[in-house]
């Protein structure tokens, strides 16, 4: 290698070294610049963070566009400077930009929310300004514009980051807007329905017009409206233009029918109503509002369809089917439809085994209507009692049905009571009577199963609706799996949840959405009803309720129909609940169980378990006087009467009957201090419960001859004169409540 070549190589090496050194220096400088830009972006993000937070400088009204743009530009500069950077550097700096980018995104939501609030304010202002015009069309237009804007823009209000900041912006506009909407919505709705009714009448849609008019009338009747008088005037004008037609007909009982009219009339005449099938009308009465006609007819034949003509239009109903006889001694639960008529015969005999003609009181439940008594047509709806004189053979026969064909009536029991004066001497009761309402076509969702009849192929939901199953054609599923008819019937059980679409005469779809495995709700046995009592008796300021139920469910408690609280069932199915008890009062507690966290029902409903609690002490009221007046208690009998329990107004709540324990005792003391205890079943001393109290028969009183215990001998160890009753033990009511005797009670006249 010559010298020239060596010089070239050396020069090239030096140049390359200088180039590498310069490149490293430039990269270092660029990194410093990016770091500075990142710091600027982070600072801008921090500034922006506090301008959109109530904890900072945000006021929920001002839009911090300058800070937003500054942060946005700072982030953009960093991202621009990363062009050509290495992958690792991009990852590094992107991570450092997460926070400022987050604040930028939150700021966008903040800015959008303030813009949205301004739009809501604008529409709210327009609606507010429309109100004084009293122009309902103008108010309606402004109302729809405002509510549409409100629905659209409130979505943006809910996207603001931070609860306090979000509330600050929302409270500025959302509250006033909602208040204005609620203030005007009923007026606007009534105005819309009135216009719709006018249009329906114009095009002959009478039923639709009637529905719209009824909607307006309901709004006027149940609300205080801003333009109530004007809306009523407009409604009356529209209503007067529609022709009178029947909208519905309902059978009340075997001689009564009600007809609903599409609008009010001033009068009706019997001659205006004509039935077929020989059914005649003897009376027509009009309701106070002029929209309901009640017709009194001749007796309707069960199972016959009747059609009535009125002012050129017709309506029909079918009288309930054939009468089904039920034996009074048969305790098989009856599952019937509300259109069915049942008959029941009770027979009573006198003490000489001859047919009894004594009055029989029949207790009718609330959901039952008696249509005949001993073959004579009647119309008696429960809950009430009726007194009936038996026929010569001692029979009392009633025919009855559900009170309302469209409303189920479940768990009814009819009781026949043979009376002697006002006293029941013999009772006979029916089995449970269930009347189910046939379900109408339509979709139903998540109903609970109340009863399943696998033989007759139907089920009943908890609202008393009856759904018929078809052996073929219907579609069946169990928790999403398609199954056949027989499998569906086998799987269907009480308390399952079911949904579907029902068509009484076409294809229906049924799905068991949830198979239920259930533990029923039970109260502790100590609360069980005792025969002859007015309810569970207690003398306390609080009551501790407990029992068993579905594990992890909640028990909801009501007192006198009002919600008072709830408790959680533990994993072993045990629950407890303590609550204050009204003093000297009757309190009706109701209990239901449901999934924990589910909304509390407003009322307990007819499925609830119930417990009647009667609070008050068991007090002695009086002691009868003796009859011999010889200062000798031996074989004397005295009547101890229990005081009736009364409320603070003096109304009798209950009359306790007592029981005497085997070791019941009484301690008496005379004026010289002689004190003796007499114990039940010792030396012929006997405590015998009687109506409203107990009778005390004294046995031998001479301590030397009997088992009476002398506690204090006084002067002579003998009893004489008036005897103060010191204590009575072992006298309780049916629930174990001990008797209080108070002071001042004496035994005299012996």
The upper half-sphere exposure of residue 548, i.e. CA atoms within 13 Å in the direction of its Cβ, equals 9
305 and 426 in a single domain? The answer is: no
Examine the fold and report which residue of 465, 481, 514 is the final residue of a domain before the chain moves on: 514
CB 569 within 8 A of CB 553: yes
Does one domain contain both 559 and 622?
Answer: no
Residues 608 and 633 in one domain: no
Tell whether the model's pLDDT for residue 636 goes beyond 70.
yes
Identify the pLDDT of residue 12: 47
> 334-337 and 433-438 as β-strands: parallel, antiparallel, unpaired?
parallel
Query: pLDDT tier at 20 (50, 70, 90 boundaries)?
Result: very low
623 and 699 in a common domain: yes
CATH number of the domain within which 452 lies: 2.40.50
Do the domain assignments include residue 260? yes
Residues 200 and 279 in one domain: no
In a domain, 1, yes or no: no
For residue 612, the tally of other CB atoms under 10 A from its CB is: 16
* pLDDT tens digit sequence for 659-676: 999 999 999 999 999 999
Residue 363 burial (C-beta neighbours within 10 Å; 0-12, 13-18, 19+): middle
Q: Does 10 reside within a domain?
A: no
Q: Percent of the chain having pLDDT more than 70?
A: 93
Neighbouring residues of 86: CB distance < 8 A, sequence distance ≥ 6 = none
705 pLDDT band (50/70/90 cuts)?
Answer: low
**Roughly what angle, to the nearest 10 degrees, separates helices 163-202 and 206-222?**
130
**Around Cβ 333, how many Cβ atoms within 10 Å?**
12
Please calculate the CA angle 728-732-733 and round it to the nearest 5 degrees. 145
Highest mean pLDDT among 43-57, 393-407, 643-657: 643-657
Residue 528 sits in a domain whose CATH number is 2.60.40.10
H-run or E-run covering 87 = helix 87-96
Kindly state whether residues 168 and 198 are assigned to the same domain. Answer: yes
Tokens of 292: 């309901």
484: helix, strand or coil: coil
The pair of structure tokens assigned to 545 is 């309720």
Last residue of a domain, one of 221, 242, 263: 242
Domain-located, residue 15: no
271: exposed, middle or buried (C-beta count within 10 Å: 0-12, 13-18, 19+)? exposed
Is residue 13 situated within a structural domain? no
End-to-end CA distance of the chain: 158
pLDDT of residue 479: 92
Residue 734 pLDDT > 70, yes or no? Answer: yes
> What tens digit of pLDDT does each residue of 95-121 get?
888 888 888 888 887 887 888 788 888
Query: Is the residue at 12 inside a domain?
Result: no
H helix runs in 158-268, sequence order: 163-202, 206-222, 228-239
pLDDT, tens digit, 9 for 90 and up, residues 543-565 = 999 999 988 899 999 999 999 99
Where residue 750 falls among pLDDT bands split at 50, 70, 90? Answer: confident
Query: Are both 53 and 189 inside the same structural domain?
Result: yes
pLDDT beyond 90 at 451: yes
- Residue of 196, 195, 149 whose CA lies nearest to 173: 149
Report the relative pairing of strands 542-548 and 522-523 from DSSP bridges. Answer: antiparallel
Phi then psi for residue 191, to 5 deg, are -65, -40
Give the Cα-Cα-Cα angle 143, 146, 149 (nearest 5 degrees): 145
**pLDDT reading at 428 higher than 70:** yes
CATH code assigned at 257: 2.60.40.1220
Stronger pLDDT, 9 or 401, i.e. the higher one = 401
Asked if the model's pLDDT at residue 520 lies above 50, the reply is: yes
The predicted pLDDT at position 322 comes to: 66
Looking at the structure, do residues 488 and 409 belong to the same domain, yes or no?
Answer: no
Per the structure block, which two tokens stand in for 622? 């009086």
pLDDT for the residue 15: 42
Ramachandran angles phi, psi of 506, nearest 5°? -140, -170
Using only C-alpha atoms, what is the Rg of the chain?
43
Structural domain contains residue 8: no
Q: Give CA–CA dist 159/156, Å, rounded.
A: 5
Quote the CA–CA distance of 14 and 4 in Å, as a whole number.
16
Q: Are residues 113 and 197 in the same domain?
A: yes
Q: Examine the domain organization and report whether 226 and 261 are in the same domain.
A: no
- In total, the chain counts a number of residues equal to 750
Q: What band does 374 get if pLDDT is binned at 50, 70 and 90?
A: confident
- Identify whether residues 310 and 348 lie together within a single domain: no
Minimal CA–CA distance to 220: which of 207, 205, 204, 238?
238
- Picking from 514, 536, 558, the residue at the C-terminal end of a domain is 514
CB 156 within 8 A of CB 116: yes
In this predicted structure, the answer to whether residue 717 has a pLDDT above a threshold of 50 is yes
The backbone torsions φ and ψ at residue 702, rounded to the nearest 5 degrees and listed phi first, read -75, 115
Query: Checking DSSP bridges between strand 465-468 and strand 433-438, what pairing results, if any?
Result: parallel
| Contact by Cβ (8 Å): 264, 224 | no
pLDDT of 88 reads 83
Q: What is the pLDDT of residues 410-419, one digit of tens each?
A: 999 999 999 9
What per-residue confidence (pLDDT) applies to 7?
47
- As for how many domains the chain has, the answer is 6
Average pLDDT over every residue of 179-206: 90
Is residue 109 domain-shared with residue 204, that is, in the same domain?
Answer: yes
pLDDT band at 1 (very low <50, low <70, confident <90, very high): low
407: domain CATH number is 2.60.40.1860
Domain that holds residue 350: 323-436
| Contacts with 220 (C-beta within 8 Å, 6 or more apart), sequence order | 190, 228, 231, 232, 235
What is the rounded distance in angstroms from the CA atom of residue 639 to the CA atom of residue 262?
Answer: 68
Residue 272 lies in a domain: yes
Backbone angles phi, psi at 56, to 5 degrees: -105, -120
The DSSP-derived string for 669-698 is: E-TTSEEEEEETTBTTBEEEEETTEEEEE-
The closest alpha carbon to 437, from 466, 415, 457, belongs to 466
């Amino acid at each position: 290698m010559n010298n020239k070549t060596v010089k070239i190589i050396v020069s090239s090496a030096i140049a390359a070294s200088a180039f590498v050194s310069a490149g490293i220096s430039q990269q270092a400088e660029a990194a410093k610049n990016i770091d500075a830009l990142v710091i600027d972006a982070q600072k801008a993000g921090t500034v922006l963070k506090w301008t959109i937070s109530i904890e900072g400088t945000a006021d929920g009204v001002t839009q911090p566009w300058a800070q937003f743009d500054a942060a946005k530009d700072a982030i953009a500069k960093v991202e621009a400077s990363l062009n050509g950077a290495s992958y690792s550097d991009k990852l590094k700096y992107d991570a450092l930009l997460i926070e400022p980018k987050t604040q930028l995104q939150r700021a966008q939501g903040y800015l959008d929310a303030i813009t949205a609030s301004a739009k809501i304010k604008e529409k709210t202002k327009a609606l507010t300004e429309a109100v004084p015009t009293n122009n309902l069309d103008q108010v309606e237009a402004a109302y729809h514009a405002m509510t549409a804007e409100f629905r659209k823009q409130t979505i943006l209000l809910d996207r603001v980051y931070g609860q306090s900041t979000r509330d600050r912006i929302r409270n500025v506009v959302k509250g006033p807007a909602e208040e204005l909407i609620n203030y005007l919505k009923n007026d606007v709705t009534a105005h819309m329905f009135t216009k719709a009714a006018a249009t329906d009448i114009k095009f002959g849609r009478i039923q639709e017009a009637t529905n719209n008019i009824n909607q307006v009338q309901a709004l006027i009747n149940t609300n205080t409206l801003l333009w109530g008088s004007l809306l009523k005037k407009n409604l009356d004008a529209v209503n007067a233009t529609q022709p009178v037609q029947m909208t519905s007909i309902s059978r009340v009982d075997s001689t009564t029918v009600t007809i609903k009219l599409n609008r009010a009339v001033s009068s009706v005449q019997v001659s205006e109503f004509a039935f077929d099938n020989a059914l005649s009308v003897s009376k027509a009465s009009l309701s106070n509002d002029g929209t309901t006609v009640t017709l009194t007819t001749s007796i309707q034949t069960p199972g016959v369809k009747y059609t009535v003509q009125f002012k050129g239009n017709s309506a029909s109903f079918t009288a309930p089917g054939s009468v089904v006889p039920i034996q009074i001694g048969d305790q098989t639960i009856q599952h019937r439809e509300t259109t069915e008529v049942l008959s029941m015969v009770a027979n009573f005999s006198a003490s000489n085994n001859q047919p009894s003609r004594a009055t029989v009181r029949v207790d009718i439940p609330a959901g039952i209507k008696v249509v005949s008594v001993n073959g004579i047509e009647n119309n008696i709806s429960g809950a009430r009692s009726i007194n009936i004189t038996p026929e010569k053979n001692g029979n009392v026969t009633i025919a009855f049905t559900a009170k309302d064909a469209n409303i189920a009536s479940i768990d009814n029991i009819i009781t026949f009571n043979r009376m002697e004066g006002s006293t029941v001497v013999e009772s006979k009761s029916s089995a449970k009577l269930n009347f189910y309402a046939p379900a109408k076509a339509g979709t139903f969702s998540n109903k609970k199963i109340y009863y399943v009849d696998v033989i007759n192929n139907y089920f009943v939901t908890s609202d008393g609706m009856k759904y018929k199953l078809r052996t073929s054609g219907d579609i069946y599923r169990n928790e999403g799996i398609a199954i056949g008819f027989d499998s569906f019937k086998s799987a269907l059980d009480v308390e399952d949840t079911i949904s579907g679409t029902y068509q009484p005469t076409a294809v229906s779809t049924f799905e068991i959405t949830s198979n239920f495995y259930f533990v029923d709700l039970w109260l502790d046995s100590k609360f069980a009803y005792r025969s002859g009592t007015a309810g569970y008796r207690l003398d306390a300021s609080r009551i501790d309720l407990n029992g068993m139920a579905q594990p992890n469910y909640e028990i909801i408690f009501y007192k006198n129909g009002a919600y008072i609280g709830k408790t959680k069932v533990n994993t072993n199915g045990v629950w407890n609940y303590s609550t204050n008890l009204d003093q000297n009062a009757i309190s009706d507690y109701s209990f239901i169980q449901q999934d924990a966290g589910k909304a509390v029902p407003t009322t307990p409903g007819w499925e609830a378990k119930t417990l009647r609690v009667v609070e008050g002490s068991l007090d002695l009221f009086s002691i009868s006087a003796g009859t011999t007046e010889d200062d000798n208690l031996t074989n004397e009998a005295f009547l101890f009467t229990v005081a009736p329990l009364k409320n603070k107004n003096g109304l009798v709540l209950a009359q306790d009957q007592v029981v005497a324990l085997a070791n019941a005792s009484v301690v008496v003391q005379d004026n010289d201090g002689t004190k003796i205890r007499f114990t039940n079943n010792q030396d012929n001393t006997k405590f015998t419960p009687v109506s409203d109290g107990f009778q005390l028969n004294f046995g031998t009183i001479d301590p030397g001859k009997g088992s009476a215990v002398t506690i204090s001998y006084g002067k002579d160890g003998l009893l004489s004169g008036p005897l103060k009753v010191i204590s009575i033990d072992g006298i309780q009511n049916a629930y174990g409540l001990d008797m209080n005797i108070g002071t001042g009670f004496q035994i005299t006249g012996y």
